[in-house]
Structure 1
Amino acid sequence: MLWWTLRQLKSEDWKEREEAAKKLGELKEARTIEPLVDGLKDRNSHVRHAIEHALVNIGHPAIKPLLSVLRDRNEDWRRAAENVLVRMGDAAISALGSTLSDSNFQVREAAAAVLARIKDPAAIEQLLLVVKRGGLDAKQAAVAGLVRAGQSAVRPLAATLKEDLPGVRETAAAALVRIGPKAVESLIAALQDGGAREAALEALDKIDPNWPKSPAAAAVIPALLSSLKDKNERLRKAAATALGRLGDPRFVEPLAERTLDEDEGVQEAVAAALGTLGDIRAVRALVTAVRKGAPRGRRAAADALVNLGSAAVEPLVEALKDKESPVREAAASVLVRVGHSMVEPLVDALWKIDPEWAKSETAKEGVPQFVAALKENGGSTPREPIEAGRKPGPIRVVKPLVAALKAKEAIVRKETMPTIEMGDLADVQAISATLDDNDPDVRAAATKRLLQIISGLGEPLLGALKHNNHIVRRAAAHALAQSGDSRGRDVLRSGLMDVSDMVVMDAAESLVRLGDATVIQPLIKLLSSFEGISGDPAAAHKKERVIRLLYRVVEQNGREVALDDLRSIARLHEPENRFLASAEQ
């Protein structure tokens, strides 16, 4: 009789409990599901195994009660329920996918873990479906599941890199980066696909900067060379960057042909690639780029020529005779960076080229002072280059020299940011790096300037959220979030999943200012990534910034922050036990 079998399930004799579980599994009665699920708490492994088998036999009707166990604080009970769901396999996949949108973080994580353990391609597809269409919380859980799945998720994720939506591509790339070296081979293969190439390249660089040395890299060379002439500027740019990474001198000529590409970003990537290759055959093309390229292309070409060193000196000296002042100044800055021994001949040449400026008293007094300061530092930047540039007053030469030497970088960036002139949205890359600067004033100035650019062009902020350039999207998101528009917040929240820790901190900083408590889990994960790192000033700075952000979240949203999260923070950063103190109060 059923009532007797259910009674035996609570017997003190574990063998009777085991036998009862087996009988209930054979009956497949709906009335037996609740006591069987409760029986998963049994301390005897034989009994638990029998109950798990019984619930698997019952099948679909048991799924919902098992999912409810995922909310419980009893970890052993949760693990037992997860084991049953894994064994159910295909029958549980759809329900688990829906659970990824649950409001409870613990439930989402558990559902993702179960899907990762199910040895069925349909489970991976369910996780990918959530990555493409789910909300932010569901996406985070799905990514965690895909990372757990490891090798079996790599190919489907690599295929997702060619999705049209930037957010989907970035999420897939973030998952592949977290999977790590196992993803390298599939990512290299993805370089064959034009649609996936840009995201695949970025992920490869983050996983293993030495990926071009892999035997598999040789197979993608024809596709990359072909992409240098593609109509899509993003593909041309990605191909140029990849060819530079591969480091084969055979790529010098095809890259040199693109130094004056119609797209400024491609010019920049091509020049950087030629600089990486370090072949003197590229000198003439790079000098031409310095003379005729777009602003970013000229800067990148100048950097590349610096890498080439003395081989670039002669053609650069010829460029000092150019009729165009920007060309002369660019050539001058490169020569200064090649070595301080070139400074005095350079100044002499500039005086000859521009006699009117040379007659000024400030030029006669100031340039020698700057040269002397440069020599005192062995050819490196003077300690106070801003002052060295201001006192003499010869703006036409000294200011370019200071800029070229990248002197006092944070000060230069902050003070010059408002004066940078932009032609259109394609020019935002010129200040994109400053959005991730360590100095908050620099970040604020960069964001403000980008918003001015967007506003000046009449670009609607909502339209800017869909712009191809992620820098524009981030700037627009900051503005919308500050105005209280939820769409801006959504974009900032997606930044919490970015592969760049600087982007995560940038997004979190804006959300914290808005009183948004969703940042706490991503920040805790980021904080944990700094564990065990010592002697790295950059990591120490980032860790301190994360701690400050977490403290502000706790101050603003103390009652909403889970005690477990506070304990995690205290464990990761012992001096910050004030988190616990503030919560307990």
Structure 2
Amino acid sequence: MPAAAAAKTRLKDVLRQFEGGKLEDRLRLAPALGHAKEKKAVDALINAFDIKRGNPRETAAIVEALGRAGDPRAVESLVGAMDYLRSMMLQMELPGHLQVLRWKILEALSRLGGEQTVGILSEALNDRDPRVVEEAVRGLGRLQVKAAVPALLELSRGASSGNLTQAVIEALGEIGDKRAVSVLEQALKTSDRFVEVEAAYALARLGRKEMYDKLADNLKGDPGAEKVGILAAYYLAKLGRSAGLDHLVGLMKRTDGGYASLAAEALGKSENPRAVLPLVEASRSEDSSLRLSVARSLGRLGGTRALSSLKRLRNDPNPGVRNAALASLAELGVLD
């Protein structure tokens, strides 16, 4: 059977199982439908999306899948869900699972883009929930919305160190607007080493090549207690610099302090395709916590070698590793 015909047959089977299956089946199959990026797959996800009556876990899985599918037709359903949650907030405090869903919807919308999405993300910058604000910041950075720069600069002045500060600085770097330079240069002078490293990364994104050396300076003597070198190495790997990649690969070989797992997670998030091979090699480690991180990271990076390694890890003796491998394979559209 030709590859195209076989793919259609597999999609048909997945759709049948998703639409007629139990909750656990739908949770397992939703990521694969998102990865398929086919009209019928997106239709099935939209039809199953019920913000009012759906199972919380299934609803969250569908939201994530719709974001990954990249089909702008999903925007209307996600915006409608966001409006529904906003109306609920006027009447009551949202339960935890619905608050989490707000974050996930913002992330999904930021992967779909469009004027409506930009408006919702911009409005969310004023939300009372810091996690919602953080996700809105990351979304505006992902979409490189230059009109958001003044609001992001204002947020940077009021934020202390932490996840929100990191999100703002990274977003300013991703947007690449020169209006951010003075604020980022000021951040370089802070006593907080994490903020300093974040600012160096953003300035490097803005074309300041001397920031590569500043990031590399933080690798010396690492790992220290703060683990700031892991962050610097992650940024260097994300920027395509060998120094960061090599540093993280070296940390994966350590057997103390949990550095190996942190390094593997950083490699996966770096989006650097050169990280796949060392992760594949680390997948044979005797350390199950490292294999778990590797399984997650290979799912983020994808590719032929990653798939081969994940198929082996789905038979791992550790159940956590097996589940992570299966989840990553589903994210990559592999269910057999």
| Shorter-chain TM-score tier | 0.5 to 0.7
Give the letter aligned to residue 104 of structure 2: A
- Between 1 and 2, higher relative CO (CA 8 Å, sep ≥ 6) is seen in 2
**2:317 counterpart residue number:** 484
**1:494 counterpart residue number:** 327
- How far apart are residue 183 of structure 1 and its match? 1.3
Counterpart CA distance in 1 for 2:155 and 2:257 is 29
How much identity, in percent, do the aligned residues show?
Answer: 15
**2:77 maps to 1:196:** no
Counterpart CA distance in 2 for 1:436 and 1:405 is 7
Give yes or no for contact 1:429–1:471 (8 Å, CA) kept in 2. Answer: yes
TM-score by length of 1: 0.36
**2:167 maps to 1:269:** yes
Give yes or no for contact 1:240–1:273 (8 Å, CA) kept in 2. Answer: yes
Match of 2:12 among 109, 113, 137: 109
Give yes or no for contact 1:255–1:274 (8 Å, CA) kept in 2. Answer: no
Match of 2:280 among 441, 444, 452: 444
Counterpart CA distance in 2 for 1:422 and 1:250 is 39
Give yes or no for contact 2:314–2:321 (8 Å, CA) kept in 1. Answer: yes
Give yes or no for contact 2:121–2:140 (8 Å, CA) kept in 1. Answer: no
Counterpart CA distance in 2 for 1:298 and 1:448 is 36
Kindly tell me: are residues 413 and 285 of structure 1, through their superposed partners in 2, closer, same or farther at Cα, counting changes over 3 Å? Answer: closer
Kindly tell me: are residues 447 and 472 of structure 1, through their superposed partners in 2, closer, same or farther at Cα, counting changes over 3 Å? Answer: same
The DSSP-based 3-state class of the residue aligned with 2:190 is helix
- Return 5+ residue gaps in structure 2 as ranges: 1-7, 86-98, 218-232, 301-309
The DSSP-based 3-state class of the residue aligned with 2:126 is helix
- Map Cα deviations across residues 349-404 of structure 1 (whole Å, 9 max, x no partner): xxxxxxxxxxxxxxxxxxxxxxxxxxxxxxxxxxxxxxxxxxxxxxxxxx9xx988
**2:241 counterpart residue number:** 406
Give yes or no for contact 1:240–1:270 (8 Å, CA) kept in 2. Answer: yes
Kindly tell me: are residues 237 and 158 of structure 1, through their superposed partners in 2, closer, same or farther at Cα, counting changes over 3 Å? Answer: farther
**1:169 counterpart residue number:** 60
Give yes or no for contact 2:276–2:298 (8 Å, CA) kept in 1. Answer: no
- How far apart are residue 218 of structure 1 and its match? 1.8
Two-structure CA RMSD over aligned residues (Å): 5.5
Counterpart CA distance in 2 for 1:142 and 1:131 is 16
- How far apart are residue 450 of structure 1 and its match? 12
Kindly tell me: are residues 178 and 185 of structure 1, through their superposed partners in 2, closer, same or farther at Cα, counting changes over 3 Å? Answer: same
Matches within 5 A, 1:96-135: 109=12, 112=15, 127=19, 130=21, 132-134=23-25
- How far apart are residue 301 of structure 1 and its match? 1.8
Counterpart CA distance in 1 for 2:170 and 2:261 is 22
Which has the higher Rg, Structure 1 or Structure 2? Answer: 1
Kindly tell me: are residues 418 and 305 of structure 1, through their superposed partners in 2, closer, same or farther at Cα, counting changes over 3 Å? Answer: same
**2:256 maps to 1:430:** no
**1:180 counterpart residue number:** 71
Give the letter aligned to residue 186 of structure 1: S
- How far apart are residue 239 of structure 1 and its match? 1.9
**1:79 counterpart residue number:** none
Give the letter aligned to residue 274 of structure 1: L
Give the letter aligned to residue 190 of structure 2: R
TM-score by length of 2: 0.56
Give yes or no for contact 1:108–1:138 (8 Å, CA) kept in 2. Answer: no
**1:238 counterpart residue number:** 135
Structure showing the higher helix proportion among its residues: 1
Kindly tell me: are residues 254 and 301 of structure 1, through their superposed partners in 2, closer, same or farther at Cα, counting changes over 3 Å? Answer: same
Counterpart CA distance in 2 for 1:426 and 1:440 is 15
Counterpart CA distance in 2 for 1:442 and 1:288 is 33
The DSSP-based 3-state class of the residue aligned with 1:291 is coil
Q: How many residues align?
A: 280
**1:91 counterpart residue number:** none
- Map Cα deviations across residues 184-206 of structure 1 (whole Å, 9 max, x no partner): 34335556655334433444454
Counterpart CA distance in 1 for 2:45 and 2:240 is 46
Give the letter aligned to residue 159 of structure 1: I
